[in-house]
Amino acid sequence: MVTMPVQEVKRRGMSILDNSLSAGPVYVISHNSPRYVVMFADTFREMEDALAEARIAASEADMRAGRYTKGTADELMAELMED
């Protein structure tokens, strides 16, 4: 994990991030905690696509295993409002 203090980013600008991104996402540290993650846009899109595929796969597995209920939208809304 590549980390960088927020002060360093403020002082040196995007060029410091560009140089560090070749090693992967950069975690920008503020108040001793990771506050931001900077990554290439293509990497972010790949992550979003992988997450969407994983969600679909999990839903399909639930369907095959019978972990679902049938009902109308009104029934679902009524159930949600009970909680």
* The pLDDT of residue 51: 98
Exposed (0-12), middle (13-18) or buried (19+): which is 64, by Cβ within 10 Å?
Answer: exposed
Give the max Cα distance, the chain. 57
Low-confidence ranges of the chain (pLDDT < 50): none
DSSP 8-state assignment for residue 83:
-
pLDDT in tens, 1-14: 899 999 999 999 98
- The pTM for the full model equals 0.73
Q: How confident is the model at residue 49, as a pLDDT?
A: 98
CA distances from 9 to 40, 45, 68 (A): 16, 24, 48
CB-based burial label for 9 (10 Å; 0-12, 13-18, 19+): buried
User: What pLDDT is stored for residue 33 in this prediction?
Assistant: 95
Instruction: Tell me what pLDDT residue 1 has.
Output: 85
pLDDT at 59: 97
